[in-house]
Structure 1
Amino acid sequence: MSLKELHSKLIDIQLTHLWNQWTQLGVSGYGKKSSHIIDPEALLLYSLEITRYDARLYDEILDWCFVNGEFLSIPR
């Protein structure tokens, strides 16, 4: 496996994980259900780096933040 293929595969895995997490928080999309606790502030920070590879997820997260931003703790 080349470095480029590895990079692509890792990005795909991370994007799948992000979609799963964000859809559980109410973002429109398809994701698997999980019983894990979600930390929205950490998820948002992590998402800012990875979503440059998926514009749709980025837009969905922005929409979610406009609607639910009051529930995020900025100082945290």
Structure 2
Amino acid sequence: MDGKGRYLDNIFIERLWRTLKYECVYLHAWETGSQARAGVRKWMEFYNHRRPHKALGGRPSAVVYSLRFDATQPDQQEQIRA
């Protein structure tokens, strides 16, 4: 994802949009834009914090991200002190 217009740049986001449409948007008949916005927001929270991801060993992406961040935190603090 280098932003130079290559076809590979959009693969990851296109996969997310496809999943969003099939797991959320197509399953609901919202009457207003605010209902749709709230529904998509709720699904995104589920997708990031509770939905198991096969590529991440069945863990939600937010859990994996926080583990990576927590693991690097002490190193960053030591660099600041030095």
* TM-score (ref. length: structure 1): 0.30
Would you tell me which structure has more helix in proportion to its own residues?
2
Larger radius of gyration: 2
Higher RCO (CA < 8 A, seq sep 6+): 1
* TM-score (ref. length: structure 2): 0.29
